[in-house]
Amino acid sequence: MQRTSRLISPSRRTIIQGLSGLAIAAGFPRSSWSNAASTPDLMTWLDGFKPGVHSLNHVPTFTRYRLQKIDPRFPDATYASAVKTAWGIMGPSLRAWIGGAFHFPFFYTCSGGHADSGLDTIYRVDIITGDVVVTRPSPLVRPVETEKGIVNVPERDDYLQGHTYASMVAVEQDLLWIGHMPLYSPNLMYFDAAFPNSWIVNFGDRDKDGYPSRRPLPFRLTAGLYTKLPNDTVMAANSRRTFIADKSGRVIQSRESGLGWNGCYHPTLNTVFGIEYAGEIRAVPLDQNYTPHSARWVTRDVQKRWSYGSAIAPFGKKLVIFTGTDRYFIVDPGTGQVAERPNTILTEKYPNLAFNRLFMLREGAYLYIPTDHDRHPVLWITDVS
H or E element at residue 83: helix 77-85
Interacting residues of 34 by C-beta distance below 8 A, sequence separation 6+: none
Q: How far is CA 367 from the centre of its chain?
A: 14
Contact 236, 257 (CB under 8 A): no
How far is the C-alpha of 343 from the C-alpha of 349, rounded, in Å? 13
Residues with Cβ within 8 Å of residue 349, at least 6 apart in sequence: 372
Collapsed DSSP state (helix, strand, coil) of residue 46: helix
CA 136 to chain centre: 16
The Cα 101–Cα 159 span in angstroms is 18
Is residue 96 a contact partner of residue 163, using CB atoms and an 8 Å limit? Answer: yes
Is it true that the peptide bond before 105 is cis, omega within 30 degrees of 0?
yes
Using DSSP's 3-state secondary structure scheme, residue 288 falls into coil
Task: Identify the pLDDT of residue 35.
Answer: 45
Q: Tell me which residues of the chain have a pLDDT lower than 50.
A: 1-37, 186
Q: Using DSSP bridges, classify how beta strands 198-206 and 212-216 pair: parallel, antiparallel or unpaired.
A: antiparallel
| pLDDT on residue 150 | 73
Please write the tens of the pLDDT for every residue from 64-80: 988 887 877 766 776 67
Range list of β-strands (E), 31-148: 52-55, 100-103, 106-110, 122-126, 132-134, 142-146
Sheet holding 365-368, edge to edge: 52-55, 378-381, 365-368, 358-362
What pLDDT is recorded for position 76?
A: 72
Q: What is the CA 42 to chain-centroid distance, rounded? A: 21
Give pTM, 2 decimals: 0.85
Partners of residue 11 on adjacent β-strands: none
Residue 167 CB neighbour total at 10 angstroms: 30
Q: Which residues fall within 8 angstroms of residue 282, CB to CB, at 6 or more apart?
A: 258, 259, 260, 273, 274, 276, 295, 296, 297, 298
AA identity, residue 36: A
Residue 77 CB contacts under 8 Å (≥ 6 apart), including other chains: none
Round to whole Å and give the CA distance between 185 and 168. Answer: 22
